[in-house]
Amino acid sequence: MLPVDLQGLVDIKTCIPSIIVELKYASVRNFIGKSLYDFSQCLVLKEVAGGLAKVQIDLKKEGLGLKIWDGFRPLAVQEFFWNSVSDKRYVSPPEEAPHTRGTAVDVTLVNREGQELPMPSLFDDFSEKAHRNYRGSGPEEQANSALLEYYMTRHGFIGLPTEWWHFDLSGWENYPIIS
């Protein structure tokens, strides 16, 4: 079920049919271990979808694509995360969260077959392995993470220093929280 008032949100698959969506929080495959969303569509603002479409076009030229793990996050889920973790390095307080505005995405790279490329850590790893400046992973993982960051920043996104997979639309703080 989708939120009642979408306030400008779009289903990313309607904008980019080739993007792979695996919403981690709509399943039990997440750090909490239970499904937290009552919808399975990845929702984002139109501006985010436009930027991701450009990233996808560039990646396709390299035989790659995007897999998206999270987009819009309901405020109640963000509050639950904050109450569970309360560490600003990995979870934003609800009133500061870009995910609740539809302006943030958690993504990784996939090959032509849709298989995830090796990255410095797993998704939702709350350790230094997830940090963008972590250099303890192998050269392939570092190169893949750098490639993802290159294309995302090229098309208007800003990476979170503590999560290689998290990107915010530039100017995200100017958008309202969607309730």
- Active-site residue numbers? 163
Q: What sign does the CA torsion over 129, 172, 11, 33 have?
A: positive
What is the C-alpha to C-alpha distance for residues 152 and 73, in angstroms, rounded to an integer? 20
Q: Tokens 């495959």 identify what position?
A: 29
Q: What sign does the CA torsion over 136, 141, 146, 148 have?
A: negative
Distances (CA, A) of 52 to 18, 97, 111: 11, 20, 16
**CB contact at 8 A, 16 and 53:** yes
Could you give the dihedral angle defined by the CA atoms of residues 22, 173, 133 and 91, in that order, rounded to the nearest 10 degrees? -60
